[in-house]
Structure 1
């Protein structure tokens, strides 16, 4: 028999204790209205003094409370209004304020502000720094150190004496700790064989750009050199490179696979060839008596076989003269490296940076492994390029002989109105003005061939050169023209940048270029090295009015005769009341950045490249 289950005792919670009101403890405080508390506080403050004092204290307290309440209400109102206010309303307010400010400004001031905005928008990043330096944040604060020093008597001269010498030769300088100008080649500590060579070629005293530029480059300073065409810029940047390479070679001779010490970058094959020939001439002259070693110079450009220069490649390289495309190819193939390269010069630097070479220059800079001395030289260096260079270089020295982009004063500029159909006939008349050699420029390649064919039919010995011709044809044209075998060279813009032809007395511009920079370079083929020359330019209804306005201001600046049809062209900026400053992109004096043809062409090319990239991606 099973036993009955045990009953489990359930624990109950204690019953709550209820208190009567009379049983509450003494800690309870009854609610006292605000008015009563205020009265009590007031009584305490005044200690129940005289009734007048009591009223005064009460009034002060009331005012304090009312002020505090009003401030709280105002804060709540502002917060509510702020939350209700939309971004659109704020934008409308900003727009209306801007409209009021704009209404007070003149048309000229508005145009200047618009130009400043465009210039800021197209500002380049530091392309003269390698990718490694940009990625690692490497920047150099001090210029490259060199062993060169000016003679003691020049170092002892005062800054005032240096300033007077620069003023004498119209040299403008900008920068910190600018090296002194040196008036004689002997004082630059140049080897005697080089001095003898210069003297034998009647180069006795340095030109203004050489007077200040060579000492600046010898000092290891980064430099921006601006001087008119034919002023001796090539010697100013080649001589310091030769001396640097000589010093390195004499310390320890180079063997195969070593070098180069420096590189000169040129925008065209013709300019690279000319610079290479000059370097060969000068280095051979220095090594002539055997006291100094022979330097090896490599020409690196498209259109020639690098195998032909294997005798140079099999030795240590000292100097490389190159165009961007072939130089990148050689560096990528590791035919030579920039591990020990410490001198980098860009001739016609504004063209190198502007005209489609920006990516190539950035690519070239990525091969540098150490600090280098950078020099930029050109006859036309717009403010945009100068500002960019100032940011890219290390404590740069700006050496400017005359205004950047100004025409050579040794050239007599003649501008003539010639109808399109009459140009060919009038061309023959112009050729009778001076004896040969003569250069004729046209921007159109087909027109270059047509002019050459017409001249040949008329019995004139003429050659033609433009970008679509093969390298052999271009070299033949230049050699035959330089040697005097041909009297006339018809050329496109490819022959206008930096090329040096002896004794050119006359340049004929058959078609006025759209950009005034190109005009300055083209007329600069004559009037070189202190000689005089004539430049005849054909213009007509096909020439853009803006281009004619640039030409008008350039003639006025150079003190040349301005024909009546150019005088009649009015500058629209003058009517707007704005300042007639030159364009910071191309240096033209007749327009601003907002209607710059050079900037328009650059944007058009950029859009075309983007469209071609998109079309290519579709297939």
Structure 2
């Protein structure tokens, strides 16, 4: 059976040309499955694993549906809701060329930055708004945006919205859009209240499921490395970070993510951190440094488990094993994206072995653990070529001071409706000195 082209699926010629200019010529399975119904105006419920191409699956019908319309100031016609600032930014980057090809204007709304530029864009007139729920509700409460003209609404990563506790706000936002509009909802699972959103807001939706959420991607190879103690773990992590390709190292705490990124950079492995204590400009600088290759290593907390979509990440390392299996799958999904292969390593101390075994069983991962150190043959084989050491840190690395303590991913405190800590300025905090907890988390 031949793979259909975007033209075969009904995608308009200007968008096909825009995709082709970016080297996108063949639709991914979730795009092939959902595009005909979405382009026909049906409500669509799409289920697919991370990295499956969901952003284009809703971007193409969204732009197509709005072509020829002209939105009034502060009254957009299209709305995309995303759980994190990073995901919202990346959705906008995917949407922008398609919108430009059809003469549509787009802006992004999230907390952690001043709202003045966002309000100015709305007043100048935009057709599509990509937004995080917290800041969008703030602007709605200030009467600075109206959703009464929205004809197409997209909810991306609805299950992650639920995990972050955003569903009450999402429900209020969807209720503010017209009943007759088209709704496209994409989610890996339908638990934690997502099913209630579907029942209330989607009209006779067509369900398309591509790869169950609990399945590990076929191109992903999992490894479990048992180490004897804290120093062995530290040496192993530094070795895993030393390869030439992009890799993401996941930590449990913001403090440890910042500490490890600095240690690696000081050792000649350019690294940046990503966590909730960074201001929005610092997050963007660090992600840009990682995407461009200026920094080869991203050390992150779970804020990046679902919010960062960077291709060609060849290795994910669970330096600290996550607390639950869904987090393991979402962290691991940062590699083996868009058809590329990838490896996932979980580093396990003796006291973590039983919990990690149960975690992997719940995640549906079967892998034989290996007892290793930094010089083991299987570690060398996994790391491959070691990159030359660079002892001059990228500018982005030098800018990663702990600028904020965010209340949540929205960048606004929902109880006050005001700006987040990141918008109010930094808070000084005395660093902890060499605690046992720091030693046990791979520092």
TM-score in same-fold range (> 0.5): yes
Q: Of the candidates 558, 562, 565, which is equivalent to residue 368 of structure 2?
A: 562
Q: Deviation of residue 420 (structure 1)?
A: 4.8
What CA deviation, in whole Å up to 9, does each residue of 1:422-479 have, x standing for no partner? 22111122234x4222111112112112211221231211111101211121111111
Residue in structure 1 matched with residue 47 of structure 2 by the alignment: 226
Q: Report the structure, 1 or 2, having the larger helix content.
A: 1
* Structure 2 residue 72 is the aligned partner of structure 1 residue 262: no
- What's the TM-score once normalised by structure 2's chain length? 0.77
Query: Are the structure 2 counterparts of residues 328 and 419 from structure 1 closer, same or farther at C-alpha, using a change threshold of 3 Å?
Result: farther
* Structure 2 residue 140 is the aligned partner of structure 1 residue 319: no
Q: Deviation of residue 212 (structure 1)?
A: 1.0
Q: Report the structure, 1 or 2, having the larger strand content.
A: 2
* Structure 2 residue 330 is the aligned partner of structure 1 residue 521: yes
Q: Is the 8 A contact 2:158 2:186 kept in 1?
A: yes
Answer with 436-445 or 542-551: which moved more: 542-551
Residue in structure 2 matched with residue 363 of structure 1 by the alignment: 172
* Structure 2 residue 249 is the aligned partner of structure 1 residue 440: yes
Structure with bigger gyration radius: 1
Residue in structure 2 matched with residue 424 of structure 1 by the alignment: 234
Q: Of the candidates 131, 155, 161, which is equivalent to residue 352 of structure 1?
A: 161
Q: Deviation of residue 539 (structure 1)?
A: 2.2
Q: Is the 8 A contact 1:224 1:377 kept in 2?
A: yes
What CA deviation, in whole Å up to 9, does each residue of 1:175-198 have, x standing for no partner? xxxxxxx82201233232321232
What CA deviation, in whole Å up to 9, does each residue of 1:358-381 have, x standing for no partner? 221222234224332222213x31
- What does 1:145-224 align with in structure 2 at a 5 Å threshold? 183-224=4-45
Secondary structure, in 3 states, of the residue corresponding to 1:543? helix
Q: Of the candidates 274, 299, 304, which is equivalent to residue 90 of structure 2?
A: 274
- What's the TM-score once normalised by structure 1's chain length? 0.56
Q: Is the 8 A contact 2:30 2:57 kept in 1?
A: yes
Q: Of the candidates 285, 288, 297, which is equivalent to residue 488 of structure 1?
A: 297
Q: Deviation of residue 208 (structure 1)?
A: 0.8
Structure 2 distance, partners of 1:386, 1:267, is: 13
Residue in structure 2 matched with residue 72 of structure 1 by the alignment: none
Query: Are the structure 2 counterparts of residues 476 and 509 from structure 1 closer, same or farther at C-alpha, using a change threshold of 3 Å?
Result: same
Residue in structure 2 matched with residue 381 of structure 1 by the alignment: 189
Structure 2 distance, partners of 1:373, 1:229, is: 23
**How many aligned positions are there?**
370
Secondary structure, in 3 states, of the residue corresponding to 2:8? helix
What CA deviation, in whole Å up to 9, does each residue of 1:229-280 have, x standing for no partner? 2111000011111111114x2xxx33434x3112111111111111112211
Residue in structure 2 matched with residue 391 of structure 1 by the alignment: 199
Answer with 414-423 or 237-246: which moved more: 414-423
Structure 1 distance, partners of 2:234, 2:197, is: 43
Residue in structure 1 matched with residue 309 of structure 2 by the alignment: 500
Q: Deviation of residue 562 (structure 1)?
A: 3.2
Q: Which runs of 4+ in 1 moved over 4 A?
A: 382-387
Query: Are the structure 2 counterparts of residues 542 and 260 from structure 1 closer, same or farther at C-alpha, using a change threshold of 3 Å?
Result: farther
Residue in structure 2 matched with residue 173 of structure 1 by the alignment: none
Query: Are the structure 2 counterparts of residues 542 and 282 from structure 1 closer, same or farther at C-alpha, using a change threshold of 3 Å?
Result: farther
Query: Are the structure 2 counterparts of residues 283 and 542 from structure 1 closer, same or farther at C-alpha, using a change threshold of 3 Å?
Result: farther
Q: Is the 8 A contact 1:297 1:317 kept in 2?
A: yes
Structure 1 distance, partners of 2:319, 2:279, is: 23
Secondary structure, in 3 states, of the residue corresponding to 1:321? strand
* Structure 2 residue 279 is the aligned partner of structure 1 residue 470: yes
Q: Deviation of residue 546 (structure 1)?
A: 5.2
Q: Is the 8 A contact 1:342 1:372 kept in 2?
A: yes
Structure 2 distance, partners of 1:485, 1:222, is: 42
Q: Deviation of residue 355 (structure 1)?
A: 2.4
Give RMSD over aligned pairs.
Answer: 2.4
Residue in structure 1 matched with residue 56 of structure 2 by the alignment: 235
Secondary structure, in 3 states, of the residue corresponding to 1:190? coil
Structure 2 distance, partners of 1:502, 1:390, is: 30
Structure 2 distance, partners of 1:184, 1:497, is: 29
Structure 2 distance, partners of 1:425, 1:528, is: 28
Structure 1 distance, partners of 2:345, 2:176, is: 45
Secondary structure, in 3 states, of the residue corresponding to 2:273? strand
Q: Deviation of residue 410 (structure 1)?
A: 1.4
Q: Is the 8 A contact 2:171 2:197 kept in 1?
A: no
Q: Is the 8 A contact 1:505 1:526 kept in 2?
A: yes
Secondary structure, in 3 states, of the residue corresponding to 1:425? helix
Query: Are the structure 2 counterparts of residues 365 and 194 from structure 1 closer, same or farther at C-alpha, using a change threshold of 3 Å?
Result: closer
Query: Are the structure 2 counterparts of residues 553 and 306 from structure 1 closer, same or farther at C-alpha, using a change threshold of 3 Å?
Result: closer
Structure 2 residues not aligned, in runs of 5+: 372-443
Q: Is the 8 A contact 2:226 2:369 kept in 1?
A: no
Structure 1 residues not aligned, in runs of 5+: 1-164, 169-181, 287-291, 566-619
Secondary structure, in 3 states, of the residue corresponding to 1:356? coil
Q: Deviation of residue 510 (structure 1)?
A: 0.6
Structure 1 distance, partners of 2:359, 2:207, is: 25
Query: Are the structure 2 counterparts of residues 376 and 255 from structure 1 closer, same or farther at C-alpha, using a change threshold of 3 Å?
Result: closer
Residue in structure 2 matched with residue 408 of structure 1 by the alignment: 217
Q: Of the candidates 458, 465, 474, which is equivalent to residue 267 of structure 2?
A: 458
Secondary structure, in 3 states, of the residue corresponding to 2:306? coil
Answer with 194-203 or 480-489: which moved more: 194-203
